[in-house]
Structure 1
Amino acid sequence: MNLTILHVSQPVDGGVARVVTDLVQGQRVAGHRVLVACPQGGRLGREAVAAGAEVLHWPARRSPGPSVPGETRRLRRLVQAAAPDLVHLHSAKAGLAGRLAVRGRLPTVFQPHAWSFAAVTGPLARAGCRWERYATRWAGSVLCVSEQERLDGLAAGVRADYTVVPNGVDLRRYAPAERRAARLSLGLDLSGPLAVCVGRLCRQKGQDLLLAAWPAVLRRVPTARLALVGGGPDAQALAAQARALPEPYRVRLTGDVPDPRPWLAAADLVVLPSRWEGMALAPLEAMAMARPVLLTDVPGAREQLPPAHRAAGLIAARDPAALTHALAEALADPLECARRGGEAREWVTARHDVRSVVARVSELYQKSIGDGQPPSRVPARI
């Protein structure tokens, strides 16, 4: 059965945008009509169009606030005009406005991509938990990208029909590549060990923690280099933090890049010291390119690593000493990094092929439509 599927997303960059685009591509190949409602700017709109989606302009800020009622009204009108069989809401803001707009009158899948209450503390975290407990009535299924994300939802009192589908990667696009050629293309030193961090420059991804640990890493591995690949709201602050490091700090901030694959190929080690996640996409892409990863032990990280890599590849979140030690140990042994990279490619190939993700999400859609949620087509008023 061919469906009309409406994805709603804010943000429009980073891993969430990549996940949505991969779903669009797979769903279009399967013959479905796919629409994406998202703000203008960023990559999602243009990449979704290239993948075959119809893109609907949905102005929405990333954070909640006074703009929510207007965003909800606009989204309700888009849903009415699109007449989808199913709505798939991505991340906290789309989950907020989308569930308020649709209120369960259409089959609805909500995908947190990391719980909103994990990003804050105090009253905001408590308010986020209360909202998620209440709003779960308006989603036929909550789609988590890791088992730990599901457990965190349950621990917060969010009772829902959960489905866990780990993130995947396009193994044809992210394939092993020759390190020397990648470094030549980027104008990098050919011999020194290189750590690369790919991700949105923001508090969540922890690049500030990485920069704080870097001088101690250089004292143990003086030839090491670090590249922060990506753009984001903390770009200026991180650039200032890097400039304040003692010379030679050997750090390069690339800014946003159209394609991170050359940087992943150039790396000896890919590091992501996140404060919270659902299951980060960049480490999967790195492992698909046969590069080992170093991650903080946040939701999704342990599950996406080969069991044999967890001792060396996982550290406690917000532990500068552990980050320094693990970085220095890995960068001092490029041969071991290369060995772990080969194993990582085999692991991702067996467990994180994006085609299996698309198939499992399709099964969830069919179940959501067939489990007594309203049948296809939005009513005249919702």
Structure 2
Amino acid sequence: MKVVHVSQPVTAGVAAVVLELAVAQRDRGWAVTVVCPPSGWLPARARELGVDVRGWAASRSPGPSTLTETVRLRRLLNELSPDVVHLHSSKAGLAGRLASRGARPTVFQPHLWSFETANGSLRPATTVWERFASRWTDLVVCVSDDELAAGRSAGVTAPAEVVCNGVDTTRFFPGGKSAARRRLGVPEDVPLAVCVGRLAELKGQDQLLAAWPEVLRRVPDAHLVLAGDGPMGASWRARYPGSSVRWEGHTDDPAAWYTAADVVVLPSRAEGMALVPLEAMACARPVVAFDVGGVRQSVADAGAVLPPGDLAGLADAVAARLADPASAAREGNRGRRRVELSFDRGRMTDQIAVLVEKLTASERAS
């Protein structure tokens, strides 16, 4: 079996899923290649783990360079001649399906539909594209029931399956809070909320920062750590000053921050199924999040799921868990059990492998 994974972006959750799938499929004895831009940690990490990587210069968003990027990708795919092309996220889905146009079995995994993040006139255009591209898509893999429902509501007719994201429960596991805080330089006795993610409007840290003064009113000694970097970092630092907020920047060890936390917050405006809640739950930490794509399905009773944009509810839910660590710990334990049962990475990679094998078997039969 020859599989090519095409990915843009090359960092954060999408890259993590691509790497997990590539390594698992390589371990099955498949010939696996990751095609992606040469920047970011994905290509370097994939090579370290023995996965073949081919560079593909591509920007994150569609634009004037898309035609050139599509031509480059078409040449790469012709050279590699895979049995299956697996496209990850909107940009790879655009270029990859234009490049192949149904010539070889194609799996598209949106990791959040483009029309859910586009603004203005681009939103209807992306919806029309996703409908049209169904003809060149043998299988859509959605990471949550919400993502599948959104695609069907938008008129995406390609065959589709839900395969929920999974995390490595041997890397993310319950650990000692005190030891983690000592290592990270966090006072042992402060109530601590942690938010891990790219500093971008879609991830919604500005909503958490706007609610934070009310958390402080309820829990005056509380601290907030924002672990991540991104385009909105400088602007938000200037807009939301305060000694109770620590801007940690990018971290290569999110598990340490989950372990140090009393509660993990996901204030996103949109998601497919975010990895952050699953990773936090695997570390036995409660999650407070807005009810965007996949959150209710993943978190369930391991925290609080709030209406999108409910800043008062967000502040109340965060403060309640900081003020009552025993109750928060019980939610965290429920989360760990939930991840072990339903969101382990092995379950995810096995389900994808079965779907790819069925797809190629059907192609051979036809």
Structure 2 length-normalised TM: 0.97
Q: 1:223 and 1:315 mapped to 2: Cα distance?
A: 24
Unaligned runs of 5+ in 2: none
1:103 Cα deviation from its structure 2 partner: 0.7
For 1:155, the aligned partner's letter is S
Unaligned runs of 5+ in 1: 376-382
Identity of aligned residues (%): 50
Residue matched to 2:127: 129
Q: Which of 250, 256, 259 pairs up with 1:262? A: 256
For 1:325, the aligned partner's letter is D
* 1:342 equivalent in alignment to 2:336: no
Residue matched to 1:293: 287
- Other structure's SS at 2:171 match: coil
* 1:42 equivalent in alignment to 2:36: no
Q: 1:300 and 1:265 mapped to 2: Cα distance?
A: 23
Q: 1:40 and 1:257 mapped to 2: Cα distance?
A: 20
Residue matched to 1:379: none
Residues 263-342 of structure 1: pairs in structure 2 closer than 5 A: 263-306=257-300, 308-309=301-302, 313-342=304-333
Residue matched to 2:190: 192
For 1:335, the aligned partner's letter is A
1:305 Cα deviation from its structure 2 partner: 1.6
Residue matched to 2:51: 53
Residues 64-79 of structure 1: pairs in structure 2 closer than 5 A: 64-79=62-77
Q: 1:51 and 1:355 mapped to 2: Cα distance?
A: 17
For 2:247, the aligned partner's letter is L
1:201 Cα deviation from its structure 2 partner: 1.1
**Aligned-residue CA RMSD in angstroms?**
1.3
- Other structure's SS at 1:87 match: strand
1:74 Cα deviation from its structure 2 partner: 0.5
* 1:356 equivalent in alignment to 2:347: yes
For 1:60, the aligned partner's letter is A
Residue matched to 1:206: 204
Q: 1:231 and 1:27 mapped to 2: Cα distance?
A: 31
Q: 2:102 and 2:51 mapped to 1: Cα distance?
A: 24
Q: 2:267 and 2:308 mapped to 1: Cα distance?
A: 7
Residue matched to 1:378: none
For 2:99, the aligned partner's letter is A
Corresponding residue pairs, total: 366
> Relative contact order, CA 8 A, sep 6+: which one is greater?
1
1:373 Cα deviation from its structure 2 partner: 7.1
Equivalent pair of 1:140/1:373 in contact (CA under 8 Å): no
1:97 Cα deviation from its structure 2 partner: 0.3
Q: Name the stretch that deviates more: 121-130 or 193-202.
A: 121-130
1:225 Cα deviation from its structure 2 partner: 0.6
1:238 Cα deviation from its structure 2 partner: 2.2
1:203 Cα deviation from its structure 2 partner: 1.0
Q: Name the stretch that deviates more: 250-259 or 179-188.
A: 250-259
Q: 1:60 and 1:323 mapped to 2: Cα distance?
A: 37
Give deviations 1:31-64, integer Å, cap 9, x for gaps.
1111111112111111211232111110111011
1:374 Cα deviation from its structure 2 partner: 9.4
Q: 1:330 and 1:373 mapped to 2: Cα distance?
A: 54
Equivalent pair of 1:231/1:256 in contact (CA under 8 Å): yes
Residue matched to 2:3: 5
Equivalent pair of 1:106/1:374 in contact (CA under 8 Å): no
1:218 Cα deviation from its structure 2 partner: 0.4
Equivalent pair of 1:211/1:241 in contact (CA under 8 Å): no
Give deviations 1:40-92, integer Å, cap 9, x for gaps.
21111112112321111101110111010000000011111111111000000
Equivalent pair of 1:25/1:51 in contact (CA under 8 Å): yes
- Other structure's SS at 1:372 match: helix
For 1:197, the aligned partner's letter is C
Q: 1:132 and 1:46 mapped to 2: Cα distance?
A: 31
